[in-house]
Amino acid sequence: MSQKQEASLTTKDVPINSTWVIDYIDPNFRFEKQGSPVEVNDPILIRHLGTNHYLATDFNKIKNDFGVEYETFVQSFASKNRS
């Protein structure tokens, strides 16, 4: 619908194109939290390992056989202007 990069997930052994990493949302603690268990209520980021882009949604409602859902895609909304 949005014409953004499609996201997919599989349980089969496949190359890096289907590998995802869970990142801690606060960049100040992201390195320290790497490899530690994720708490139930912790907000997280899901990053595609091959492109380093995050899983995202823009909250456009899509009606289908299961009801109303949101489209999920791979897109980084981070600013490219880094200081």
43: confidence class by pLDDT, cuts 50, 70, 90: confident
Cβ neighbors of 72 (< 8 A, separation 6 or more) are: 7, 55, 56, 57
77: confidence class by pLDDT, cuts 50, 70, 90: low
pTM for this prediction: 0.67
Burial class of 2 by CB neighbour count within 10 A (0 to 12, 13 to 18, 19+): middle
Percentage of the chain modeled with pLDDT above 70? 72
